[in-house]
């Protein structure tokens, strides 16, 4: 009895993991593309805010603690937004790569390693190659 339950749970888990990806509409691909490039925008904002804070601290040698806390707040907010967007995209793209039936298992593993080690640099590459230039089952490109 326990073996039957284990076997059914394995089958159910495989069917959830290996579900077919439904084709995305053009507008959802564009929205996903915007979200894919969002960490780059947030990183630029983070660098700009941090640089501004750094030069303000250098310019005013005797800095009040209230000034420091008021200026550090945007740095923290931009860093948290950058981290959350990158983490969300990492999870989404790993799930998308695992469920994508149009790529073989070795390429799937390469994409997951790219996501883990290259981070936000790999997201736009995958988006362009596997989401934006999606092929149908007969090999034609769809956008």
Burial class (CB in 10 A: 0-12, 13-18, 19+), 89: buried
Helix runs in 60-104, H state only: 65-99
In-domain check, residue 118: yes
In-domain check, residue 138: no
In-domain check, residue 127: yes
- Angle between helix 26-59 and helix 65-99 axes, rounded to 10 deg: 150
Higher-confidence residue: 143 or 62?
A: 62
In-domain check, residue 126: yes
In-domain check, residue 111: yes
Higher-confidence residue: 64 or 18?
A: 64
Q: What percent of the chain has pLDDT over 70?
A: 78
Containing domain of residue 106, as a range?
24-132
Confidence label for 16 from pLDDT (cuts 50, 70 and 90):
very low
In-domain check, residue 109: yes
Residue 15 has pLDDT above 80, yes or no: no
In-domain check, residue 137: no
CB 104 within 8 A of CB 97: no
pLDDT digits (tens, 9 = 90+) for 83-114: 999 999 999 999 999 998 888 989 999 999 99
pLDDT digits (tens, 9 = 90+) for 113-129: 999 999 889 999 999 99
In-domain check, residue 94: yes
Range of lowest pLDDT (10-19, 74-83, 102-111): 10-19
User: Looking at the 3D structure of the chain, how many domains does it have?
Assistant: 1
Q: How far is Cα 65 from Cα 88, in angstroms, rounded to an integer? A: 34
How many Cα atoms occupy the beta-carbon half-sphere of 78 within 13 Å? Answer: 17
């Amino acid at each position: 009895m326990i073996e039957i339950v284990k076997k059914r749970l394995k089958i159910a888990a495989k069917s959830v993991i290996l579900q077919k990806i439904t084709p995305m509409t053009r507008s959802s691909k564009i929205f996903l593309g915007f979200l894919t490039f969002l960490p780059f925008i947030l990183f630029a904002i983070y660098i700009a805010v941090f640089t501004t804070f750094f030069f303000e601290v250098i310019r005013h040698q005797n800095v009040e603690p209230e000034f420091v806390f008021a200026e550090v707040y945007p740095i923290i907010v931009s860093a948290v937004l950058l981290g959350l967007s990158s983490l969300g995209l990492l999870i989404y793209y790993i799930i998308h790569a695992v469920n994508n039936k149009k790529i073989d298992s070795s390429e799937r593993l390469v994409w997951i390693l790219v996501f883990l080690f290259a981070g936000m640099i790999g997201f736009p590459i995958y988006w362009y190659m596997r989401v934006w230039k999606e092929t149908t089952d007969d090999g034609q490109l769809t956008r």
